[in-house]
Structure 1
Amino acid sequence: MKFAFSLKNKLKIAFLLFCIMCCTLLIRFLEDKSVKKINESFISMYNDRLVPATDLYFIAENLYHKNSILQDALVENVVHPSEIVSKINNHNRKIDSVINKYELTLLVKQEKTFLNDLKNALQVQQKLENKVLNLAGGEGKKVYESIGRNASSETLAKLSALIKIQSNVGNELIKDSKIFVSGTKVYSTIQVILAIVIGIMIVSIVSASNAVKIQNEKFNLN
């Protein structure tokens, strides 16, 4: 009977330790997964938010220079605008290069919509720029004042809206990272609790073993 009772207790303890081991492994798996998610969030924040936001400001810089070149050409009443067209086209190529690079990043649905709006606005602006430069002095100025200036402002507005999205999506990534960090703290706390439970169990087993040993020694003395 004592052997059966002892074996039964050992099986219970072994099963409990096995469950604790499984819980520890599961927690470790979840913790590694959370760390991986945090790492992915920071990488995405850099590659898909910080770098593209800088590139978008580069587009704004090119738009500014392009508009300045066009206005100077109209003020100076350029008759043969081939050199001006070349300069403007150079800025257009830089803008297209940045947009192509931007399209390769991770885009949310709203970004895709705003990016398409920006591309359409850029096409409209480029057509108007060519039209203004191809017209003779005074006529070109009229087209620019009536349509061209508004087209330029519309393009900048679309670009500004796209830049603002970077901040919003970045904030969402930060919130997700905070959730994952909170998860790792919970997992660490559970691991500490399990370690304490295992320690208590070891102390209890040793104490019980010593008690049984003392009882056996008393029994043998009797």
Structure 2
Amino acid sequence: MKFAFSLKNKLKIAFLLFCIMCCSLLIRFLEDKSVKKINESFVSMYNDRLVPATDLYFIAENLYQKSSVLQNILIFTDQNITPAAGLLQLTHHNNKIDSIINKYQLTLLVKQEQRFLNDLKNTLFIQQEFENKILNIALNDVANGRKIYETAGRDISANTLNKLSALIKIQSNVGDELINDSKVFVSGTKIYSTFQVILAIAIGVLIVGIISASNAVKVQNNKFNLN
């Protein structure tokens, strides 16, 4: 009877320890998964948000440079730059913008971001075609080219900048979502750490209980032997 009772208690203790071990392994797995997600969020924040945001700034810079070229030729009639030279400069800036757009498309894009990017590409194409048309007209008649630019060119440029601003705003919104996701993963990691502490305390209590029970059995055995 004593042997059966002792074996039954040992099986209970072994099962309890096994459950604690499984819980510890599960918590460790979930914690590693959370850390991985946090790392992925920060990597995505840099590769898919910070770097592209910088690229969008360079698009704005090239748009500004193109506007300066057109104004120098058509409005300020700068003699140091001809319409033919202006066409070459615009081509240079357009190639830079196209290169940035191609690079930007390789990043992780949400659906709304993809839609705004397509809108920007369309407006950039319209603006490029319009600018080339104006400068080709200005090759023979600068005054006529200036008139067309002042009536429609400014609106087209403003529309392109509005599309670019909308895309930049989307970048900021998606970045905020990534930060919120990271906060959730961090909170999960804290919870897992709390569970680990609780399990450690449970193991300590169990060990103390086993030692106390063992000492009690020894005392009873000694009393039995004395009798």
Q: Give TM class, smaller chain.
A: over 0.9
Instruction: Give, in whole Å, the separation in 2 of the partners of 1:26 and 1:7.
Output: 28
**2:107 counterpart residue number:** 105
Q: Can you give the 5+ residue segments of structure 1 that lack an aligned partner in the other structure?
A: none
TM-score by length of 1: 0.98
Q: Please tell me the root mean square deviation across aligned C-alpha atoms, in Å.
A: 1.2
What is the deviation of 1:148? 1.0
Instruction: Give, in whole Å, the separation in 2 of the partners of 1:47 and 1:39.
Output: 12
2:100 pairs with 1:95: no
What is the deviation of 1:147? 1.3
**2:217 counterpart residue number:** 212
Pick from 149, 158, 163 the counterpart of residue 158 of structure 1. 163
**1:143 counterpart residue number:** 148
Q: Percent identity?
A: 73
What is the deviation of 1:80? 5.3
Describe the superposition over 1:20-54 as per-residue Cα deviations: whole angstroms up to 9, x where unpaired.
10000000000000000000000000000001001
Note if contact 2:73-2:82 (Cα within 8 Å) is conserved in structure 1: no
2:10 pairs with 1:10: yes
Instruction: Give, in whole Å, the separation in 1 of the partners of 2:136 and 2:18.
Output: 82
| Cα distance change of structure 1 residues 167 and 80 upon mapping to structure 2, 3 Å threshold | closer
- The secondary structure found in structure 1 opposite 2:109 is coil
Runs of 4+ in 1 over 4 A off after TM superposition: 77-80
2:29 pairs with 1:41: no
Letter in 1 for 2:31: E
Describe the superposition over 1:112-153 as per-residue Cα deviations: whole angstroms up to 9, x where unpaired.
000000000000001110111111212111211111111000
Pick from 180, 187, 193 the counterpart of residue 192 of structure 2. 187
Describe the superposition over 1:170-212 as per-residue Cα deviations: whole angstroms up to 9, x where unpaired.
1000000000000000000000000000000000000000100
Note if contact 1:77-1:137 (Cα within 8 Å) is conserved in structure 2: no
Note if contact 2:116-2:163 (Cα within 8 Å) is conserved in structure 1: yes
What is the deviation of 1:77? 7.4
Aligned residues: 222
- The secondary structure found in structure 2 opposite 1:107 is coil
- Which range is displaced more, 56-65 or 136-145? 136-145
In the TM superposition, what are the counterparts of 1:105-144 in structure 2 within 5 Å? 105-135=107-137, 136-144=141-149
Q: Can you give the 5+ residue segments of structure 2 that lack an aligned partner in the other structure?
A: none
